């Protein structure tokens, strides 16, 4: 990255933000505004991997500006699971943003291929450029919204907070100055992954659309028994609950909370990401080896 005043300030602010969060669990306001001060493209190094920095979606990078993952517990969990299974697996990232997980997974020797769904043009382009700078050829980027059925949809782009951009199912929406409403066609995982037969890990982070994405993937889920990691926080809970997910996936699947240390337990409070694993899948033993509470 080119060393500018904005870049230097953003890094200093991010370090203060991280220290405060680790000591007090408080999220210091202002990190997004600090990242907005970086006006030039460049390359970030995060855990030895190269990421193209796209200033138009600067806020999506978060702590990556200081060589830290935004969700370290999910990276830790994924690495444990991948090591614990035999053979290669696929990784599917629904709501890939700027590719934090795409690039990390593409670098794993046991990941056969990565399929990334990201409808936001600037974020999708950032993933393409990151793949190019790392020389990754095992990544396919699909610039579509994932839902329950293929249909006309709208994507609400949030310039101030790119990771809060989300799909809508009607144009009835008050759009603020920092938002753009884009008309597009939604797709389903059943449609896009029809040819996939290999064991797969699916990460879903689509601002409340996770349940509909799973609903549109039932054929794929029944056929391949993928390991599912889905966001379940205050935003997601406005759209669905875990009872709906359990009814959708059926009795073969068990659902656990992904903890801040990368391990699992059976609590359903203070959640961020949840993990759904099939008892008959190749991932079940690798997941139970992490020692969750039954």
Return per-residue pLDDT of the chain as tens, 294 residues: 889 999 999 999 999 999 999 999 999 999 999 999 999 999 999 999 999 999 999 999 999 999 999 999 999 999 999 999 999 999 999 999 999 999 999 999 999 999 999 998 999 999 999 999 999 999 999 999 999 998 777 767 665 655 555 566 454 455 555 566 777 778 999 999 999 999 999 999 998 999 999 999 999 999 999 999 999 999 899 999 999 999 999 999 999 999 999 999 999 989 999 999 999 999 999 998 887 554
pLDDT at 180: 67
What's the confidence (pLDDT) of residue 118? Answer: 94
DSSP for 45-108 reads: EETTEEEEE-GGGGGGGGGGGGT--SSHHHHHHHHHHHHTSSS-EEEEEES-TT-HHHHHHHT-
Q: Tell me whether residue 106 is exposed, middle or buried, using C-beta atoms within 10 angstroms of its C-beta: 0 to 12, 13 to 18, 19 or more.
A: buried
Given this model, what pLDDT does residue 254 score? 96
**What pLDDT score was predicted for residue 184?**
73
Q: Please give the pLDDT value at position 175.
A: 52
What pLDDT, on the 0 to 100 scale, is given for residue 156? 73
Pairing mode of beta strands 152-158, 179-187:
antiparallel
Residues 6+ apart with CB under 8 A from 31: 13, 14, 17, 59, 62
Q: What is the pTM of this model?
A: 0.91
> What is the per-residue pLDDT for 1?
86
pLDDT of residue 69: 98
The reported pLDDT for the residue numbered 294 is: 43
Bridge partners, 126 (sequence order):
none
Residue 156: strand, helix, or coil = strand
Which helix (H) or strand (E) covers residue 220, if one does? helix 218-224
* 7 φψ region: left (φ > 0), alpha (ψ -120 to 50), beta (else): alpha
Domains, the chain, ordered by start = 5-66 (no CATH), 72-288 (3.40.50.150)
């Amino acid at each position: 990255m080119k060393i500018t005043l904005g870049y230097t300030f953003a890094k200093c602010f991010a370090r203060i933000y991280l220290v405060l969060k680790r000591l007090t669990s408080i999220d210091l306001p202002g990190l997004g505004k600090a990242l907005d001060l970086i006006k030039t493209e460049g390359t970030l190094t995060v855990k030895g991997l190269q990421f193209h920095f796209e200033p138009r979606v600067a806020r999506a990078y978060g702590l990556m500006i200081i060589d830290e993952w935004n969700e370290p517990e999910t990276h830790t969990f994924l690495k444990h699971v991948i090591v614990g299974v035999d053979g290669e697996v696929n990784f599917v990232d629904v709501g890939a943003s700027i590719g934090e997980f795409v690039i990390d997974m593409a670098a794993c020797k046991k990941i056969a291929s990565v399929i990334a769904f990201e409808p936001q043009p600037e974020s999708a382009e950032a993933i393409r450029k990151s793949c190019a700078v790392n020389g990754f050829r095992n990544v396919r980027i699909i610039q579509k919204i994932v839902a329950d059925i293929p249909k006309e949809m709208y994507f609400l782009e949030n310039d101030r907070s790119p990771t809060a951009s989300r799909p809508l199912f009607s144009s009835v929406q008050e759009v603020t100055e920092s938002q753009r409403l884009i008309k597009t066609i939604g797709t389903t995982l059943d449609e896009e992954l029809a040819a996939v037969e290999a064991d797969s890990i699916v990460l879903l982070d689509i601002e409340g659309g996770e349940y509909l994405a799973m609903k549109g993937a039932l054929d794929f889920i029944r056929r391949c028994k993928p390991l599912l990691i889905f966001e379940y926080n205050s935003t997601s809970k406005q759209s669905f609950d875990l009872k709906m997910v359990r009814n959708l996936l059926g009795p073969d699947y068990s659902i656990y909370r992904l903890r801040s240390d990368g391990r699992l337990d059976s609590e359903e409070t203070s959640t961020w990401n949840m993990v759904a694993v099939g008892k008959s899948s190749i991932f079940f033993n690798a997941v139970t080896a992490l020692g969750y509470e039954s």
